[in-house]
Amino acid sequence: MQGTVDQARPEDLRPDRAIQQGDRSKIPRRLQRARALLRRHRCRPVETAQSHPALRRVIEIETTTLGRIGRSVNRLGFGGAPAGLTDYLSKYTPEDGSARDGVLDAISRALDLGVTYFDTVADYGLGENERIFGEALADRSDIFLATKVARNAFDDVRASLETSLERLGRDSVDLL
């Protein structure tokens, strides 16, 4: 099978009557190839109430298994740098309430689209990203949460992790 998912044209990925009615003979060949490529690369469907049922079969997020822990996670993750660093990607101040609401909305949308891998670090905005992530992910047990420390000594690492857990409102993280 030749090509990549990126070569599928947008018009081939939108729902049409053939897909809705389940008539596979009328599904464009390019779309069939895109789906086969997604399956071959172990992608899983994004389950979202906002997606059209036909799109759920097309929009997929690739997963991978992490080393010895054997946990399956999205290859596409949501990083915390923009949520904690002033003007990281655009005009943004973590202390600004409307900007904070925008980050909370972005995390909520990522969850709706099937993202389950979230990455933070204690040093982004003096931990502000961890506070925001903690608020947004408070009731979620179905996510994979990673954080990092910028320390070398064991006691410093332990203290940083304990502070991160407090900010995140969690007893543990999945990856340090």
Q: Which positions are annotated as active-site residues? A: 124
Cα separation, 32 vs 14, in Å, equals 13
146 CB neighbour count, 10 Å cutoff: 18
Burial 38-48 (b: 16+ CB within 10 A, else e): beeeebeebee
Helix (H) or strand (E) holding 66: strand 60-66
